[in-house]
Amino acid sequence: MQITLPTRLYSDPAQFEAERRGVFAAGWQFLGREADMPRAGDYLAEEIAGYPILAVRDAQGGLNGFHNVCRHRAGPLVDDGAGSCGQELTCRYHGWRYTLDGRLRSAVGFGVLEGFDPRAFGLHPAAVQTWRGFVFVNPDAKAAPLAHLVGPLDALFEERGIRLAPAVTRRSHEIACNWKTYVENYLEGYHIGPIHPELAAEIEVADYQVTMHGEVAIHDVPTKSGANNGLWAWLWPNLAINVFRYGLMVEHMKPLGPDCTRLDYLYFHEEGDDMAAILEASDQLTGQDRDICEAVQRNLNAGVYQTGVLSPRHEGAVGWFQNRIAELNA
């Protein structure tokens, strides 16, 4: 019998900081599409769990990753999102200039200073790697290869011939809950009957299974029609890739603080597809999950519930996730 994590871990600012440093400082994070940065100087930038990170394409066509932090007085180099920095990265605060491989090119207006060696003031590196057209970054420049994480999912993509469609539609939702509350909701199908009646009408809820393959949770969702309608998968620590009949959706679960999470959705579909009905159904599912996760978070914060127990049949992936979190507090 597995007992759940104690409730304080879902609201304590000190725990959130421990997770920021123990989970997200060394975790692969989805940044965007490689197609969005085709030319030298094109970049993608994002803040993830308090870490401002960027990836930029260099003149040789490679991708370099850095913390979006100038070595002078911590100014930002680029705005979040996609853009172009031209031939160099320039701090927006005092104008220090860096090459696209992170070397300090010019400490503008700094003059000659005894003991100052520009070679010691290059940008702090981050790891950047690509997988099937996606760009991932890791604040830890010495992180294990991305292939170690995505291997189980890569095999499924190959088996099912899954590819990226060219068009992208974006959606974002904020949820007033701890990021773990939402992730745990994603990692089980136990709640589908009560919370998602429309979905429950299409699938065999009793046969719904979520199994861990390395650090990837794979949902096995038998449908009442017998058709294979796609793939739901979650990658440690906070990314879901959902493949439906219309295409593929990336769901990035971004912690904004101990009690707030933002979901960034990217829907990949064919040019000209009518996405209205698809987005309406997706918004409905997200709204149902938002309502229950916010209600659970309220009850976690109330101080009555302290710990519970996990179902070995329905919540194995939740148990795996909670064990990983517990390792931070061992």
d(CA 93, CA 90): 9
Stronger pLDDT, 230 or 286, i.e. the higher one: 286
Task: Please check whether residue 3 lies inside any domain of the structure.
Answer: no
Place of tokens 């949820």: 175
Same domain for 238 and 195: yes
Same domain for 79 and 157: no
At residue 272, the pLDDT reads 86
Helix/strand/coil for 112:
coil
Phi and psi at 130, nearest 5°, equal: -120, 155
Same domain for 252 and 165: yes
Phi and psi at 237, nearest 5°, equal: -100, -10
- Bridge partners (DSSP) listed for residue 252: 239, 264
Same domain for 190 and 299: yes
Same domain for 300 and 199: yes
Q: Is residue 229 scored above 60 in pLDDT? A: no
pLDDT bracket for residue 12 (50, 70, 90): very high
Q: For the chain, how many structural domains are there in total? A: 2
Q: What is the CATH number of the domain that holds 154?
A: 3.90.380.10
Task: Please check whether residue 274 lies inside any domain of the structure.
Answer: yes
Residues with Cβ < 8 Å from 294, sequence gap 6 or more?
Answer: 175, 176, 177
Which segment of 114-118, 120-124, 128-132, 292-296 scores lowest on mean pLDDT? 114-118
Task: Please check whether residue 5 lies inside any domain of the structure.
Answer: no
DSSP letter, residue 314: T
Task: Convert the pLDDT of each residue in 14-69 to its tens digit.
Answer: 999 999 999 999 999 999 999 999 999 999 999 999 999 999 999 999 999 999 99
d(CA 149, CA 19): 19
At residue 224, the pLDDT reads 78
| Token reading at 32 | 């965007």
Same domain for 86 and 156: no
d(CA 155, CA 75): 41
What are the counts of helices (DSSP H) followed by strands (DSSP E) for the chain? 7, 19
Nearest to 218 by CA among 206, 230, 203: 230
Same domain for 131 and 164: no
DSSP letter, residue 260: E
Domain that holds residue 286: 147-328
The 3-state secondary structure of 207-257, one letter per residue? HCEEEEECCEEEEECCECCCCCCCEEEEECCCEEEEECCCCEEEEEEEEEE
Alpha-helix residue ranges (DSSP H) falling in the chain: 13-22, 146-160, 179-186, 192-195, 197-200, 276-302, 316-328
Domain boundary among 100, 118, 142: 142
Q: What is the CATH number of the domain that holds 41?
A: 2.102.10.10
Task: Please check whether residue 23 lies inside any domain of the structure.
Answer: no
Mean pLDDT, range 284-312, rounded to an integer: 97
Q: Is the dihedral of CA 3, 287, 30, 272 positive or negative?
A: positive
Same domain for 74 and 88: yes
pTM: 0.94
d(CA 259, CA 285): 21
Burial group, residue 152, by CB count within 10 angstroms (0-12, 13-18, 19+): middle
Residues with Cβ < 8 Å from 131, sequence gap 6 or more?
Answer: 146, 147, 150, 154
Same domain for 194 and 305: yes
Domain boundary among 142, 177, 195: 142
Q: What's the chain's average pLDDT?
A: 94
One-letter amino acid at 90 equals T
pLDDT bracket for residue 179 (50, 70, 90): very high
Which segment of 82-96, 103-117, 155-169, 224-238 scores lowest on mean pLDDT? 224-238
d(CA 200, CA 193): 5
Percentage of the chain lying above the pLDDT 70 cut: 98
At residue 219, the pLDDT reads 92
Nearest to 156 by CA among 224, 234, 227, 222: 234
Domain boundary among 97, 113, 142: 142
At residue 79, the pLDDT reads 97
At residue 159, the pLDDT reads 87
What is the total residue count of the chain? 330
Percentage of the chain lying above the pLDDT 90 cut: 80
Q: Is residue 7 scored above 80 in pLDDT? A: yes
Mean pLDDT, range 169-197, rounded to an integer: 96
At residue 202, the pLDDT reads 85
At residue 230, the pLDDT reads 66
Q: Is residue 11 scored above 70 in pLDDT? A: yes
Stronger pLDDT, 93 or 203, i.e. the higher one: 93
d(CA 214, CA 150): 9
Q: Is residue 226 scored above 70 in pLDDT? A: no
Same domain for 316 and 171: yes
d(CA 67, CA 76): 9
Mean pLDDT, range 5-21, rounded to an integer: 96
Task: Please check whether residue 127 lies inside any domain of the structure.
Answer: yes
CB-based contact 226:212 (threshold 8 Å): no
At residue 3, the pLDDT reads 96
Task: Please check whether residue 68 lies inside any domain of the structure.
Answer: yes
Same domain for 305 and 179: yes
Place of tokens 């969005």: 36
Same domain for 314 and 190: yes
Q: Is residue 234 scored above 90 in pLDDT? A: yes
Mean pLDDT, range 173-186, rounded to an integer: 98
Task: Please check whether residue 1 lies inside any domain of the structure.
Answer: no
pLDDT bracket for residue 236 (50, 70, 90): very high
Task: Please check whether residue 167 lies inside any domain of the structure.
Answer: yes
